């Protein structure tokens, strides 16, 4: 067996006996994302479903001036409440969400066939209220339109007279794409699992080994140092792959049990999805493993390595944030940027869009080459004599 | 056999080793004696190929350690200054790891480990994880893993450091058995009694140079002192304070 694999299996065996490493690689790293995801989706869906079905409480002033309108509101699931004494202040102080004021002259205007007016009091700075405002507004408008149409018919005109133009809305977002909005965090969570999965092994096998004074005896074995390094990198990468796989499986299981279809979305995160994502992630896993080994190998001790790798872990947040905050059309070169490319491809897979072979090849190849270059660099640096000496 | 010729090494402005030459013969125990900071560890680190000297040559059984490093390492068994073990592996697994890196077949490794375990009297600890091992248990394990490929040349950096009297005695007996085997044993120390009890030949190092070399009797004669300690003081040019 070559030295690389001897080192590889020894690192795996040793790490598998470390409870802290196991916890981080197989539980915290891969499952943090899916758990967060389940909580978030459940929260969103239950809120949306609640809102649609629940009666909307609205304080109505002057309900006696427009009994028909009030009856129509009640029919549409609006709960008419007694008005507060000072409605403006009540809305401002968030005691009441919505107030509908029907003026005294409403009946006179209405009966005369002039434009009657109702006032809607709300606070647009309260985000969670915007849905309610929209709902009430639609109910009132629908009532007005119905009455308008009836008046036209009574005068022998077609209701179409007052509606020269209508907009027919056809949303081209597929059900998957709507789901992908919620899934924007999934690519980052996979990258997070990549970083977290290998981190502790990388530290333990390099900075940790030196701190425990076992690096010097190891390096005087009749083995080329770059082989030893490669064994350590591969062990780190293996843990990282495991972490990603567990994460993907958890997402797949979660997507089956979440009530996403009630939101008009479909999500397919099954075996096919995993089989497509895994090859995209592989070169990234290697690149990250080499980077972690490089950084940890030159830290003075365990603690310092932990600090550096913690900082390194923030790195993938940058492309994620950019993709979320400034949604731009992906350009071909972006697939060549490690971390960005993977996130783009996974997002597209989530949206059930076809990913071109060229972007896919660029994404794979550039990251793989980058990983190889950093590996060569690390192997060069690993040959230095200061590396082994711990005292 | 280990031959060291005119080794030199400096770190920045500090000349740690300034032209050290000596020979350690097969079937002998050679002691590298010197006060702390004399350059013993640096000399040994160059000898076992962890560091490269700025000048000089090291021959292990005639093999140049810097042009044919891996072959030289095969012929060396080293207990370095740093003797950390993998604490989540058992003593046996620690030794097996190094055996594998030396290319020793598993079956052969097993019989050699059993022999070393018997010789070093570590039957009670060999299947235990090394976490919580005493200093003596750690040194035994580190020696076993350094010798599992049966090297002809054995280099030990301050092997009795931190050992109690009992462990020291058992280690001495073990080194004497290696000598009886015809192997070349070289160890560094700053403790006089160690040298007196074990060594066939002594090389005294001070301030990065060899100041004297020879058998114990030769050294006493050279210094004109009957007591080894006095001879050592005279030869290293050290006064009592600098040794304290």
Residues of chain B with pLDDT > 90, as a percent, come to: 67
Average pLDDT value for residue range B160-166: 86
Instruction: Determine the pLDDT at residue A181.
Output: 55
Residue B195 CA to residue B85 CA, distance in Å, equals 27
User: Do B15 and B37 form a contact (C-beta atoms < 8 A)?
Assistant: no
Contact list, A3 vs chain B (CB under 8 Å): 101
pLDDT of residue B240: 44
Q: Do B86 and A389 touch (CB under 8 A)?
A: no
Which tens digit of pLDDT belongs to each residue from A190-225? 888 999 899 999 999 988 898 888 999 999 999 999
pLDDT of residue A74: 87
For residue B227, the model assigns a pLDDT of 78
| Rg, chain B, Cα only | 18
Residue A5, Cβ density class (10 Å: 0-12 exposed, 13-18 middle, ≥19 buried): middle
pLDDT at B111 > cutoff 90? yes
pLDDT at B244: 39
pLDDT at position A252 is: 86
Q: Tally the residues of chain A.
A: 391
pTM of the predicted structure, to 2 decimals: 0.80
Q: How far is CA B30 from CA A55, B6, B154, in A?
A: 95, 18, 10
Give the per-residue pLDDT at A240: 94
Alpha helices in chain A (DSSP H): 3-16, 19-22, 29-53, 67-75, 87-92, 106-112, 130-154, 175-182, 186-203, 209-211, 215-219, 225-257, 271-297, 302-314, 317-325, 340-350, 357-382
Min distance A386 CA to chain B CA atoms (Å): 8
pLDDT at residue A53 in the model:
67
Which of B97, B130, B135, B147 to substitute to test the interface with A, most A CBs within 10 Å?
B97
R_g over Cα of chain A: 31
Contacts of B29 by beta carbon, 8 Å cutoff, 6+ apart: B175, B176, B179, B185, B186, B187, B198, B199, B200, B201
Residue A76 three-state SS: coil
Please say whether the beta carbons of B85 and B112 come within 8 A.
no
Mutate to test the interface with A, among B96, B101, B131 (most CBs of A within 10 A): B101
Q: Are A289 and A240 in contact (CB under 8 A)?
A: yes
Q: What is the pLDDT of residues B86-96, one digit of tens each?
A: 999 999 999 99
Which residues in A lie closer than 8 A to residue B82 (C-beta atoms)?
213-217, 390-391
Q: Do B82 and A213 touch (CB under 8 A)?
A: yes
* ipTM of the shown complex: 0.91
B101 touches chain A (CB under 8 A): yes
The per-residue pLDDT for A222 is 94
Instruction: Count Cα neighbours of A23 within 13 Å in the Cβ-side half-sphere.
Output: 3
pLDDT tens digits, one per residue of B137-158 = 999 999 999 999 999 999 999 9
Q: What residues in chain A have per-residue pLDDT under 50?
A: none
| Summary mean pLDDT of chain A | 84
Taking the C-alpha atoms of residue A141 and residue A72, their distance in angstroms, rounded to an integer, is 11
pLDDT digits (tens, 9 = 90+) for B15-71: 899 999 999 999 999 999 988 888 899 999 999 999 999 999 999 999 999 999 999
Q: How far apart are CA B127 and CA B141, in angstroms?
A: 11
Q: What is the mean pLDDT of chain B?
A: 90
Whether chain A has a CB inside 8 Å of the CB on B49: the answer is yes
pLDDT of residue B125: 94
State the pLDDT at residue A178.
57
Helix ranges restricted to H, B8-90: 40-47, 69-74
In chain A, what are the domains? Answer: 2-44+175-382 (no CATH), 53-162 (3.40.190)
Q: Are strands B201-206 and B209-214 parallel, antiparallel or unpaired?
A: antiparallel
């Amino acid at each position: 067996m070559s030295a690389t694999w001897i080192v590889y299996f020894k690192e795996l065996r040793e790490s598998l006996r470390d409870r802290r490493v196991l916890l981080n690689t197989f539980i915290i790293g891969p499952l943090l994302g899916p758990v967060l995801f389940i909580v978030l989706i459940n929260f969103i869906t239950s809120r949306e479903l609640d809102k649609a079905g629940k009666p909307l409480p609205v304080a109505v002033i002057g309900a006696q001036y427009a009994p028909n309108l009030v009856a129509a509101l009640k029919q549409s699931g609006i709960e008419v409440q007694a008005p507060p004494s000072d409605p403006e202040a009540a809305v401002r102080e968030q005691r009441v969400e919505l107030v509908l004021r029907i003026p005294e002259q409403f009946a006179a205007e209405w009966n005369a066939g002039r434009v009657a007016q109702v006032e809607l009091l709300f606070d647009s700075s309260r985000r969670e209220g915007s849905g309610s405002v929209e709902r009430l507004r639609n109910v009132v408008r629908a009532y007005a339109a119905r009455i308008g149409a009836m008046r036209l018919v009574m005068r022998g005109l077609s209701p179409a007279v007052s509606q020269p133009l209508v907009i027919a809305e056809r949303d081209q977002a597929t059900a998957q794409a709507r789901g992908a909005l919620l899934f924007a965090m999934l690519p980052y969570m996979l990258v997070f699992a990549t970083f977290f999965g290998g981190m502790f092994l990388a530290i333990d096998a390099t900075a940790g080994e030196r701190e425990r004074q076992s690096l010097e005896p190891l390096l005087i074995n009749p083995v080329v140092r770059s082989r030893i390094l490669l064994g350590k990198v591969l062990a780190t990468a293996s843990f990282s792959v495991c972490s990603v796989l567990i994460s993907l499986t958890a997402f797949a299981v979660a997507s089956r049990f979440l009530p996403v279809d009630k939101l008009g979305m479909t999500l397919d995160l099954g075996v096919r999805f995993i089989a497509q994502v895994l090859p995209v992630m592989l070169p990234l896993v290697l690149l990250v493993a080499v980077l972690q080994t490089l950084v940890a190998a030159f830290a003075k001790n365990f603690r310092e390595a932990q600090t550096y790798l913690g900082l390194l872990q923030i790195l993938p947040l940058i492309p994620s944030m950019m993709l979320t905050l400034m949604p731009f059309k992906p350009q071909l070169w972006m697939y060549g940027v490690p971390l960005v490319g993977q996130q783009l491809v996974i997002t597209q897979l989530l949206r059930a869009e076809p990913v071109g072979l060229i972007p896919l090849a660029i994404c794979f190849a550039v990251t793989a080459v980058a990983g190889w270059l950093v590996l060569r660099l690390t192997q060069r640096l690993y040959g230095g004599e200061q590396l082994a000496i711990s005292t | 056999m280990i031959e060291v010729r005119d080794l030199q090494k400096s770190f920045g402005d500090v000349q740690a080793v300034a032209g050290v030459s000596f020979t350690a013969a097969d079937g002998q125990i050679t002691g590298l004696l010197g006060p702390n900071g004399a350059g013993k560890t640096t000399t040994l680190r160059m000898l076992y190929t962890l560091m490269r000297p700025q000048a000089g040559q090291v021959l292990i059984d005639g093999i140049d350690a810097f042009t044919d490093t891996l072959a030289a390492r095969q012929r060396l068994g080293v207990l370095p200054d740093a003797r950390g073990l993998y604490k989540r592996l058992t003593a046996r697994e620690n030794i097996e790891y190094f055996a594998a890196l030396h290319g020793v077949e598993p079956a052969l490794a097993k019989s050699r480990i059993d022999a070393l375990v018997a010789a070093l009297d570590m039957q009670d600890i060999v299947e235990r994880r090394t976490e919580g091992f005493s200093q003596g248990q750690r040194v035994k394990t580190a020696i076993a893993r350094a010798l599992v490929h049966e090297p002809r040349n054995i280099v030990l950096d301050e092997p009795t450091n931190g050992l109690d009297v009992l462990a020291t005695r058992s280690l001495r007996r073990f080194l004497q058995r290696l000598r009886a085997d015809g192997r070349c044993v070289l160890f560094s120390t700053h403790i006089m009694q160690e040298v007196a009890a074990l060594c066939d030949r002594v090389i005294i190092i001070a301030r990065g140079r060899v100041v004297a070399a020879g058998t114990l009797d030769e050294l006493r004669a050279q210094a004109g002192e009957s007591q080894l300690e006095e001879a050592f003081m005279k030869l290293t040019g050290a006064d009592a304070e600098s040794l304290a």
